[in-house]
Structure 1
Amino acid sequence: MVVIEDEAIVLAGYQMLFESWGYVVIAAQSADEALGMLEGGAIQPGFILADFRLRNGQTGTDAIERVRQAFGPDIPGVVVTGDTTVTVDRLRLAASEGMPILHKPVNGRQLQELLTRSFKS
Structure 2
Amino acid sequence: MSAIGSERAGSGGAAAGGRVVVVIEDEAIVLAGYQMLFESWGYVVVAAQSADEALQMLTATPLPPGFILADFRLRDGQTGTEAIERVRAAFGADIPGVVVTGDTTVTVERLRLAASEGMPILHKPVNGRQLQDMLTRSFKGA
Fold shared, TM-score > 0.5 on shorter chain: yes
Q: What TM-score range do you get, normalising by the shorter chain?
A: over 0.9
- Deviation digits for residues 12-37 of structure 1 (CA, Å, limit 9, x no counterpart): 00000000000000000000000000
Superposition RMSD in Å: 0.9
2:134 maps to which of 110, 114, 120: 114
Per the TM alignment, residue 41 of structure 1 is displaced from its structure 2 partner at its CA by: 4.6
Identity between Structure 1 and Structure 2 (%): 85
Question: What amino acid sits opposite 2:98 in the alignment?
Answer: V
Query: Which structure would you say has the larger Rg?
Result: 2
Partner of 1:40: 60
Match for residue 7 of structure 1? Answer: 27
The count of aligned residue pairs is 121
Q: TM-score, normalised by structure 2?
A: 0.83
CA separation in 2, counterparts of 1:115 and 1:90?
23
Structure 2 residue 111 is the aligned partner of structure 1 residue 91: yes
* Structure 1 residues not aligned, in runs of 5+: none
Instruction: Provide the rounded CA distance (Å) in 2 between the counterparts of 1:102 and 1:38.
Output: 24
How far off its partner does 1:39 sit? Answer: 1.3
Unpaired segments of 5 or more residues in structure 2?
1-20
Give the TM-score normalised by structure 1.
Answer: 0.97
Higher relative contact order (CA 8 A, sep 6+): 1
CA–CA separation in structure 1 for the residues paired with 2:104 and 2:125: 12
Moved over 2 A (4+): none
Q: Which residue of 1 aligns with 2:36?
A: 16
